[in-house]
Structure 1
Amino acid sequence: MKILADENMPYVQQLFGHLGTIETVNGRELTAEQVNNVDILLVRSVTQVNQALLAGNNQLKFVGSATIGTDHIDLDYLASRNIPFSNAPGCNATAVGEFAFIAMLELAQRFKSPLKGKVVGIVGAGNTGTAVAKCLEAYGIEVLLCDPVLEAKGDPRSFVSLNFLIDKCDVISLHTPITKTGEHKTWYLFDEARLNRLRENTWLLNCCRGEVIDNRALLKFKQQRDDIKVVLDVWEGEPHPMPELVPYIEFCTPHIAGYSLEGKARGTYMLYQQVAKVLNIKGENKMDALLPALWSEQVTVTEIATERALLQLARFVYDLRDDDELFRKNFLNNLGFDHMRKNHKHRREFSALKVSNMGQTNVNWLSNLGFSGVGL
């Protein structure tokens, strides 16, 4: 059996190696010829899986995408050929939630404007948006949710309109899929008109798809409104961000908000479980056995008395400033954007760090944030 996998997926060899031979490829440059004699195809969001890619393959048993979104997959075509497909919903939700929360803490520190006391609006309340809300609510932040699609489906949570959210929130974090048509399309959801509606000193974060914000309109807007602070992990036209826009963005990263080691491993592991079902075999490998220990597994803290102290604890696990600096140095290099993504292997989640000897007042909310061993 031949397995073809995106080179950015970790632990493929450990999980799938016993099933056959494995070849890893650059997912963005994958060709139909490379797929022709493949039994299992494992991709990420940079690979368009459609008839053009698969038409020459008559033996494909499974297609998996280690992502939440499926906009890069022609699901109808796969169904027409009875090719089983699975994605990995929620695999990187915790990573994205923690990334957005850390980015907010970094903005608060840089601009001396505490996150505590702000109202945060989350546009898109699926897996990642919910994970952001979980972090914020653990810290005692008021959160407003906007998701007309989930609201129409009967989601019991309380939702507000997008205009209401823009008018009321100090921070707006975007977590929608990309949709180009329909009543609730998200392509250029934040166009020139919506950007101009933002309240003074609003923070705007995009960790979903670059085209949810009109990047040309954002450049024009930021040139006139320096009070608005922006964090972009995703960019229109990836892997080629607008060079003119980068200097106006407070924190820049190359679409790696979900790239924690735990999140990437979880995505691969979820596909492994689905392949085991399709092939009717017993999936005996365990995800926890794959993950290495954090460089320092445990930290002893007596008190988290300030927001700065919380940020310092978060930086112990992941320092966003490092990736921002690396992005600004390398994004214009040939294949620089994808090179940074491919080599982004250091990021961990809060759960990798055990926090011990905490005062009782800090135990619950730090545990709810995701830190492990709290209060031991």
Structure 2
Amino acid sequence: MKILADQNMPLVEQYFADFGEVVRFDGRKLTPEQLIDADILLTRSVTQVNSELLAQANKLRFVGTATIGVEHIDTPLLTAKNIAFSSAPGCNAIAVAEYVISSLFALCQENATSLNGKTIGIVGVGNIGQCLAQKLAALDVTVLLCDPIKHQQGTLQQHVELDELLAQADIVTLHVPLITTGEHKTRHLINHSRLQALKPGTILINASRGDVIDNQALLAVMQHGAELDLVLDVWENEPDILTELLEHVRYASVHIAGHTLEGKARGTQMLYEKYCQLNGITATKTLDDFLPPPAISQLSVSATFTEADISRLVHLIYDIRRDDGILLANLASDGFDSLRKNYPLRREFSTLTLTGDSPQLTALKQLGFTVSH
């Protein structure tokens, strides 16, 4: 059996080698010829799985994407060809939520402000938005949720309309899928008029899809003096991003918000489990079989640890300013895709086990740290 796997997917050999030969490919350069005699295709969001790509896929029986979004997959085509398909919803929800939290604490440090009392608007309440909201419940903030689809379905009672949320929020963080047409279109959801409507000093974070914000409009409002703190992990036209925007962004990164070791490996595991399920195979492998121990695994938190110390603990595990520095120093020489491919190791809050008698342990557990009593 021939198994084609994106070169940036971790642990594919560990999970899939028992089923056949694993062959790696560059996600942006995969050709139809490479799919000849391939039985399994494991991909990420940079690969467009369409009729052109599958023109010579004579044996393909399973396609998996280790991502939440599926807009790069022609799923009706796969159904027509009787090719099984699976995505990995929620695999990187924890990672993206922790990216947002790291950025918020970093901005508060640099702006000499506090998160206490702030209103945070979450636009898109899928796996990531829900995870972020649950973590933010540990902090003294007000959370507004906007998801018209879930509201119409009756699964989000506390829905706030987007323009109302934008008017009220001190912080706006975007976690919607890319939808290009229809009533719930999200391409350029944040357009010129909505950017102008944001309050001075608003923090605007995009860790969803680059096209959700009109990047040219964002550049224009920033050049005309808009007072926004921007955190951008995703960009229109990746990897050829609008570099003129960089000087106006507080923290910039190369579409890596979800790229913890756990998040990426969780995606691979979910595809392995789905393939096993479809083929009547007992799934016996888990992340614990393969992930290395974290560099710092245990820490004692004393009674003198306060809410003000939480940011120090968050940045001990992950500080977004590292990734901003990597992009600014190396984008011109290495390029967007190379930086993404060679993204340094990052772990999740849960890899740190906390002990002690601080009253903040409950909040730290809510944020995602492991607490041992």
TM-score interval for Structure 1 and Structure 2 normalised by the shorter chain: over 0.9
What secondary structure sits across from 1:238 in the alignment? coil
| Residue number in structure 2 paired with 1:126 | 126
Residue by residue over 1:27-65, the C-alpha shift from the partner in whole angstroms, topping out at 9 and shown as x without a partner, is 111111111210000000000001100121121110000
1:1-20 pair list within 5 angstroms: 1-20=1-20
Q: Whole-Å Cα distance in 2 between the matches of residues 152 and 306 of structure 1?
A: 37
Provide the residue aligned with 1:323 in structure 2: 323
Instruction: Tell me the residue number matched to 1:263.
Output: 263
TM alignment of 1:234-273, pairs within 5 A: 234-273=234-273
Going from structure 1 to structure 2, the CA distance change for 1:239 and 1:304 (only over 3 Å counts) comes to farther
**Conserved 8 A contact 1:255-1:341:** yes
Deviation, 1:68, is 0.3
Asked if residue 366 in structure 1 is aligned to residue 364 in structure 2, the reply is yes
| Structure 1 Cα separation of the partners of residues 354 and 19 of structure 2 | 39
2:210 aligns to what? 210
Contact kept, 8 Å, 1:261 with 1:345, in 2: the verdict is no
Deviations 1:80-108 (A, max 9, x none): 01100000000000100111111111111
Equivalent residues of 1:38, 1:60 under 8 A apart: yes
- CA-to-partner distance for each residue in 1:106-135, whole Å, 9 max, x for gaps? 111111121111000000000111111112
Which runs of 5 or more structure 2 residues have no equivalent in the other structure?
none
User: After superposition, what is the alpha-carbon deviation per residue over 1:164-184, rounded to whole angstroms, capped at 9, x for unaligned?
Assistant: 101111000000001111112
Unaligned 5+ residue runs, structure 1? none
Equivalent position amino acid for 1:230 in 2: L
How far apart are the structure 1 equivalents of 2:108 and 2:225?
18
Partner AA of 1:320 in structure 2: I
Q: Which is worse superposed, 236-245 or 148-157? A: 148-157
Tell me how far apart the structure 2 counterparts of residues 204 and 9 of structure 1 sit (CA, whole Å).
29
Q: Is the 8 A contact 1:358 1:375 kept in 2?
A: no
The residue number in structure 2 matching 1:72 is 72
Q: Per the alignment, in what secondary structure is the counterpart of residue 24 of structure 1?
A: strand
- Percent same amino acid among aligned pairs? 45
- Residue matched to 1:353: 352
Separation of aligned partners in 2, 1:180 and 1:358: 51
One-letter identity of the residue aligned with 1:38: A
Shift of 1:291: 1.1
Give the structure 2 partner of residue 338 of structure 1: 337
Q: CA RMSD in A?
A: 1.2
Q: Distance in 1 between matches of 2:96 and 2:119?
A: 19
Shift of 1:278: 2.1
Contact 2:3 2:21 in 1 (8 A): yes
| 8 Å CA contact 1:219, 1:244 repeated in 2 | yes
Counterpart contact for 1:243–1:332, Cα < 8 Å? no
- Per the TM alignment, residue 358 of structure 1 is displaced from its structure 2 partner at its CA by 3.7
CA distance in 1, matches of 2:52, 2:319: 41
Alignment match, 2:135? 135
SS of residue in 1 equivalent to 2:189: coil
Deviation at 1:375, TM superposition (A): 4.7
CA distance in structure 2 between the aligned counterparts of 1:61 and 1:23, rounded to whole angstroms:
16
Equivalent positions of 1:1-376 (< 5 A) are 1-302=1-302, 303-307=304-308, 309-334=309-334, 336-359=335-358, 361-372=359-370, 374-376=371-373
Deviation at 1:345, TM superposition (A): 4.2
Contact 1:63 1:86 in 2 (8 A): yes
Give the TM-score of the pair, scaled to structure 1: 0.97
Q: How many residues align?
A: 372
Measured in 2, the distance between the counterparts of 1:271 and 1:219 equals: 39
- Structure 1 residue 193, shift from structure 2 partner: 0.5
- Residues 4-41 of structure 1 deviation map (CA, whole Å, 9 limit, x = unaligned): 00011000011111111001111111111111210000
